[in-house]
Homo-oligomer: A and B are copies of this chain.
Amino acid sequence: MRIDLNADAGESFGPWTLGADEALCQTVTSISIACGFHAGDPMVLRETLRLARRAGVSVGAHPSFPDRQGFGRRKMHISARELEAMVLYQVSAVAGMAHAEGLPLRHVKPHGALFHLVMHDDDAADGFVRAAAATDQGRCLVGHGGSALERAAARAGIRFVREAYMDRHYEADGSLTSRERPDALITDPSHAAAQAMNIVVHGRIRVRDRSRELSVQAETLCVHSDTPGAPEIARAVRAALEGAGVQVAAF
C-alpha cells in the first residue's frame, strides 16, 4: 500500500504570509504551489521551490482565477478558451521557475473556484487539461475521482491522480461538508489519522453524521495549509499510515 500526502503552498504575497509551508514540507510528499493569480509572487514562488528542493518534496502548480482579493474563491464567468490561456500562462511560469531550481513540475491541481468549475464543467475541464499538459504530456492532474476533470484527462491520455481529504468531512452524497458549517473541518489529529487510515487501508470514508461509509479510491490525501494545526494533522496522519506499513511517497 502506498499514498501521497499533499498540501497547498506558496500562498503568501508581498508583505503578507499565509500557511505553514516550512513545517508541512517536513511531512507531506508533494505540494501544489500558487502561481501568482490568487496568491504567490515571483519571490514567494522561488522561496517555495527552494524549500521543496531542500525537503525533497514533489512540486506541482496550483493555478487559479485572477483574483487575489477573493483568494481565487469567487467564481468568475470565463470562457473555456480564455481559461485555457490563463492556466497555460500560470503553469508555464511555475514550470520555468521550477526548472531553474532543478525541479520538474510533476502535477497541476486547480485552486478554489476554478477547482469546482473543472470538476463539473466538461468544456472547462478540457481547456484545463490542454493547458496543464501543453508543455509536458507526462504531467499529472489532481482532483476528485469521477469528476469532469478526470474524464477530460482520460480523453487526453493524461494521468489523473484521485485525491481525498484528511481534514474535511464528507456528506452521504460524496460531497465535502460545506465550509459554512462549523464542523466542516477535521482539526483533531487523531480523527484525521483515523479517516486517512480508513481511506488508504479500506478504501472507505465514514460520513460526517456517521450514518454510513462511502467507498473511495485515492492516490493522494490533501491537508489544507490553512486548516488550524495543519502540520500536526499531517504528522499524525503520516505516523499512523507508516505505523500500519503504508508507504508514504509522492505519486
Q: A interface vs B, CB < 8 Å?
A: 11-18, 36, 39, 41-43, 45-46, 66-71, 74-78, 81-82, 85-86, 88-97, 99-100, 113, 134-135
Contact = CB atoms under 8 A, between A and B. Distances in A.
Contacts of A70: 14, 76, 78
A12 B11 CA distance: 15
B77 A42 contact: no
A90 B41 CA distance: 11
A81 to B, nearest CB: 8
Q: In the A-B complex, list the 7 residue pairs whose CB atoms are closest, starting with the nearest.
A: A92-B96, A16-B16, A42-B85, A100-B134, A15-B71, A14-B69, A42-B89
Contacts of A15: 11, 18, 39, 71
Contacts of A90: 93
A92 B99 CA distance: 9
B89 A36 contact: yes
A77 B74 contact: yes
Given A85-B97, A92-B94, 13 more contacts: A14-B69, A15-B71, A16-B17, A42-B85, A42-B89, A43-B86, A46-B88, A67-B76, A76-B76, A88-B97, A92-B99, A99-B134, A100-B134
A165 B19 CA distance: 32
A68 B14 contact: yes
A42 B93 contact: no
B42 A96 contact: no
A100 B130 CA distance: 10
Contact of A45 (B12, B45, B66, B85): B85
B82 A43 contact: yes
